[in-house]
Structure 1
Amino acid sequence: MTLQLLRQCHLLRRGVVLQRRELLRRDDCGDERKGLSERRHNSKLPSPCSFSSATQCKNSLLCNEEFFHRRDLGVFVRTQLEALYPCNRLEFVALSPIVGVVEADLKGPDGPAGYHCVPAETVTDEDFKYSFNGKPGIQVPNNAVLFPASVMEAPMFNGMGISAGRVLLRRGGSLPVHSHGASEILYVTQGAMNVTILATRRAYVNYLKEGEFMIIPKCRLHFLDNVGRGEAIGFAAYSSANPRFHFQHLEMYASNVPSPTLSRVTFLDVDQIRRNKARFNGTG
């Protein structure tokens, strides 16, 4: 179904170009409507919408010349797709954020476009709000605690391509080397921390204090280290509704790869690898 939507989006984009040419040459909505129909018939393009009267055609986006002069074709395609595929029938929101209620139905499957949406009439005021207060958080080695706010915790993030999180580093604590499939903005709300992005031949090191933030590109290995005298707290915003963390120490030491093999490919001592495997419940 997602492939069908992508094809529909591609065809609509092709149709927009033809439609815009017709708009520039015709002032009368009836003539324009006829011209578009002929174009679609000849090129076998799908009709993005239909009109039952000249009034509906006159008020439509297809006849809004000012709209097309802005060349905001992405918005046009999104609008037409929304009309063709309402959210409660099919979720295509990963293609482009839509205006409306798209709260996730977590009881259903999670696909590339996100979860199916709950009925709009069941959404409440509180569904638009989320609080980290009172949440237990996820304990991470080296005295760090993660408080995720992804679509799993805040279903209203469904299809929006964004999510949030909070990280607490206790005194002397750090968040180990990791990456995630989303870009991140990390804003320090308390204390000070060293945020380092790892790269070949060098590292990008920044010391952030309260009120400062940093951009971390997706899939880049990085770590956080508390360099203050007390706790350090950061607020994170992600470019994904459900960013998945990939901690390097878990992928290496919680695996079943034999220790001698890991030693050869990581240049680490076998005994150290075995100690780490024992700590993180790995085998081999």
Structure 2
Amino acid sequence: MVVLKLWVLLLIVSMHGYGTLASDPDPIQDFCIPNPKYGAIGTAHLSILPCKNSSEATTDDFVFSGLKAIGNFSDTGLATIPVNPGVFPGINTLGMSFVRADLKAGGINPPHFHPRATEIAYVVQGSVYSGFVDSNNRVFARVIEQGEVMVFPRGLVHFQMNVGEKPATIFASLNSQNPGLQKIPTAIFGSGINEKLLEKAFGLTPKQIGTMRRRFDPKTVR
């Protein structure tokens, strides 16, 4: 059963990779393992390292072992291990990234979105209430069980909650090596938006706004 799960996950990730042209540029070589010996090239969003000679690439460049253990849990009962070229150089220029997410019983992954990527999430174990909201404010959500997959379209707000009595584990793949992450509560209350505007937009008092700002201050939120 474990082997079947892994094969399904690998199939999802490999099939998902074929859709990368819609997000990241098409690679112009088989692979590009960053060479840390040379200085990074700075861009608006990324620091790009030149590729090392392909003859210097090894099998270890294409293997990542950092998903064996659970990450550190946040106050919401969520632990994530994001994987991008910064920690796994082998996926550089391949137009993808992925993440392991663990949820305690009752834990949540708060509403958020990825501005540059579509996400596909596979439930390895547990029962997870998952969903997204489209641009017409229609909610598409239900409980996703072990072995099921749900897709979250690019740029749409989505969320997850463990509704089971045991921990849940999710593996997700995104079709960009730099998908971006915007957490809705932090974006609204932790970004310094004018207090009067927030009061009128949400019908909250100054005291309530202050409470929300302290709760979602990016310097303290976990």
Q: Deviations over 1:26-74 (max 9, x none)?
A: xxxxxxxxxxxxxxxxxxxxxxxxxxxxxxxxxxxxxxxxxxxxxxxxx
Q: 1:186 to 1:268 in 2, by over 3 A?
A: farther
Unaligned stretches of 5+ in structure 2? 1-23
Q: CA deviation at 1:237?
A: 0.5
Matched residues in 1 for 2:25 and 2:138: separation?
Answer: 36
Matching residue within 127, 148, 154 for 2:61: 127
TM-score by length of 2: 0.76
Matched residues in 1 for 2:155 and 2:74: separation?
Answer: 20
Q: What is the match of residue 118 of structure 1?
A: 52
Q: What is the match of residue 174 of structure 2?
A: 238
Q: What is the match of residue 16 of structure 2?
A: none
Q: What is the match of residue 147 of structure 1?
A: 81
Matching residue within 104, 110, 127 for 1:192: 127
1:219 alignment partner, SS class: coil
Q: CA deviation at 1:138?
A: 5.6
Unaligned stretches of 5+ in structure 1? 1-93
**Further displaced range: 251-260 or 229-238:** 251-260
Matched residues in 2 for 1:95 and 1:258: separation?
Answer: 37
Name the count of aligned residue pairs.
190
Q: 1:208 to 1:110 in 2, by over 3 A?
A: farther
Question: In angstroms, what is the RMSD of aligned CA positions?
Answer: 2.5
TM-score by length of 1: 0.60
Matched residues in 1 for 2:218 and 2:51: separation?
Answer: 38
Greater strand content: 2
Q: CA deviation at 1:198?
A: 1.4
1:263 alignment partner, SS class: helix
Matched residues in 1 for 2:148 and 2:206: separation?
Answer: 41
Q: What is the match of residue 260 of structure 1?
A: 196
1:1-284 aligned at under 5 Å gives the runs 94-105=24-35, 108-109=40-41, 111=43, 115-133=49-67, 137=71, 139-180=73-114, 181-199=116-134, 200-281=136-217
Q: CA deviation at 1:152?
A: 1.3
Matched residues in 2 for 1:246 and 1:169: separation?
Answer: 19
Q: CA deviation at 1:211?
A: 0.3
Matched residues in 1 for 2:67 and 2:96: separation?
Answer: 20
Higher relative contact order (CA 8 A, sep 6+): 2
Determine if contact 1:152/1:242 at 8 Å carries over to the other structure.
no
**Aligned-residue identity in percent:** 26
